[in-house]
């Protein structure tokens, strides 16, 4: 609404210091003042509507997590009669959310560190050294981005069973790393190519080994790239659902997304819906909070790959 009131005024006022834009604005405006305004109201309305549709379900979930079971079913949209914090403590303790959190933190910490280390090592070699098979290995890695993972998971389940890695935290970490490598290698290879070669050459001439050059010169220079791809992998691994569903079915080892789904399924007979909502919000809030704080970096990290 505001734009429609302010914008005609804004253009009608002559802008003395920028003559060019004044001209550019005036011409189309005169021709279609009426229908431009309708279009503007409509489009802005759509933007507001979508923002509402995105934010509303999230607020609804937060609100519902403070209600008791009765109120959830009888009046889904009413405010809670009082703040039922016991939902949260029930979800954290009885419903094992604390365990799921711990498992997720362990798995993601291990696999994120592993992904960044192994991914940057492979990417550096592929970006900076000529050797037979370089292109082949590169395409082997990035080919993994377009294959349906589920196809590989069927045999992988039995492979992991045979080598005693099924349903273990460290097994899951290895799988997360392996399936994060394609994008990580793709992204970091492009990134290492953009870095100047002269610094590494100088380090080599000064007598540093290749390994030392990599860890002490190249990795610090690649920090922006590592942060971007790190955020991308962090979110992907924290939110991962398909890999643990197939490869990690042991109750004690379940990660957040799995635990919540299981909680939802078991509500069929337990009927603790308020606890489930508390669990959902509990899982949602840290990520949303982190996103709001690191908004710029997150967006850069998630969109960087697709823009290349």
Q: Which of 90, 110, 144, 186 binds another protein (CB under 8 A)?
A: 144
Of 84-92, 105-113, 218-226, 257-265, the window that binds another protein (rule: CB under 8 A) is 257-265
Residue 135 interacting with another protein (CB under 8 A) = no
Number of other residues whose CB lies within 10 A of the CB of residue 67: 25
Maximum Cα interatomic distance, the chain, rounded to a whole number of Å:
78
| Residue from the set 106, 142, 152, 221 that interacts with another protein by CB under 8 A | 152
Supply the minimum distance, in Å, between the C-beta of residue 178 and another protein. 4
**105 vs 150, beta carbon nearer another protein:** 150
- Count Cβ atoms below 10 Å from residue 37 Cβ, excluding itself: 15
Six token digits for residue 203: 């380090």
For position 271 contacting another protein by CB under 8 A, the verdict is no
Q: Is the dihedral of CA 224, 227, 230, 232 positive or negative?
A: negative
Question: Does the protein bind another protein through residue 119 (CB under 8 A)?
Answer: yes
**Contacting range for another protein; rule: CB under 8 A; set: 81-89, 175-183, 188-196, 216-224:** 175-183
Smallest separation (angstroms) from another protein to the CB of 112:
15
Q: Which of residues 86-115 bind another protein (CB under 8 A)?
A: none
At its nearest, how many Å lie between another protein and the CB of residue 226? 15
Kindly tell me which residue out of 34, 135, 136, 155 binds another protein, with binding defined by CB under 8 A: 155
Specify whether the CB–CB gap between 64 and 280 falls below 8 A.
no
Nearest approach in angstroms of CB 271 to another protein is: 13
Taking the least distance from each CB to another protein, the nearer of 90 and 218 is 218
Is residue 87 within 8 Å of 275, Cβ to Cβ?
yes
**Cα 22 to Cα 11: distance, rounded to the nearest angstrom:** 7
| Shorter beta-carbon distance to another protein: residue 199 or 288 | 288
Binder of another protein out of 24, 89, 94, 98 (CB under 8 A) = 24
Name the residue with tokens 């959310």. 97
- Residue whose tokens read 């920090």: 223
Which candidate, 241, 116, 110, 123, places its Cα nearest to that of 173?
110
134/137 Cα distance (integer angstroms): 5
d(CA 141, CA 189): 11
- Establish if 216 lies at the interface with another protein (CB under 8 A): no
Of 85-93, 192-200, 209-217, 220-228: span binding another protein (CB under 8 A): 209-217
Judged by CB under 8 A, the stretch of 19-27, 79-87, 95-103, 189-197 that binds another protein is 19-27
Residue with tokens 């908004």: 295
175 touching another protein, by CB under 8 A: yes
Q: Which residues make Cβ contacts (< 8 Å) with residue 226, sequence separation at least 6?
A: 116, 120, 188, 219
The radius of gyration computed from the CA coordinates of the chain, to the nearest angstrom, equals: 26
Please select the residue that binds another protein; options are 80, 142, 157, 217, rule is CB under 8 A: 157
Q: Which of 97, 127, 156, 166 binds another protein (CB under 8 A)?
A: 156
User: Whole-angstrom Cα distance, residue 202 to residue 196?
Assistant: 11
130 vs 252 by CB, closer to another protein? 130
* 288 lies in the binding site for another protein (CB under 8 A): yes
């Amino acid at each position: 609404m505001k734009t429609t009131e302010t914008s005609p005024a804004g253009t009608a006022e002559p802008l003395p210091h920028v003559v060019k834009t004044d001209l550019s604005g005036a011409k189309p405006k005169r021709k279609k003042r009426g229908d431009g305004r309708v279009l503007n109201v409509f489009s802005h309305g759509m933007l507001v509507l979508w923002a509402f549709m995105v934010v509303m379900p999230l607020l609804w979930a937060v609100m519902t997590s403070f209600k008791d079971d009765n109120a959830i079913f009888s009046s889904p949209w009413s405010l809670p009669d009082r703040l039922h914090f016991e939902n949260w403590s029930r979800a954290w303790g009885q419903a094992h959310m604390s365990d799921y959190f711990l498992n997720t933190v362990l798995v993601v910490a291990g696999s994120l560190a592993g992904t960044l280390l192994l991914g940057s090592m492979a990417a550096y070699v592929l970006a900076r050294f000529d050797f037979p098979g370089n292109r082949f290995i590169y395409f082997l890695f990035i080919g993994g981005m377009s294959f349906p993972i589920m196809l590989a998971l069927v045999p992988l389940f039995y492979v992991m069973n045979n080598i005693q890695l099924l349903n273990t935290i460290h097994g899951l970490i290895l799988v997360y790393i392996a399936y994060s490598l394609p994008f990580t290698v793709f992204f970091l290879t492009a990134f290492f190519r953009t870095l100047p070669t002269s610094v590494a050459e100088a380090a080599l001439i000064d007598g540093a080994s290749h390994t030392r050059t990599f860890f002490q010169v190249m990795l610090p220079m690649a920090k922006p790239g590592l942060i971007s791809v790190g955020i991308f992998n962090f979110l992907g691994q924290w939110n991962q659902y398909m890999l643990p569903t197939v490869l990690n079915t042991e109750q004690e080892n379940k990660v957040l997304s799995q635990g919540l789904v299981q909680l939802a399924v078991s509500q069929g007979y337990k009927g603790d819906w308020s606890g489930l909502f508390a669990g959902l919000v509990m899982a949602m809030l840290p990520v949303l909070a982190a996103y709001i704080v690191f908004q710029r970096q997150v967006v850069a990290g998630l969109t960087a790959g697709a823009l290349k």
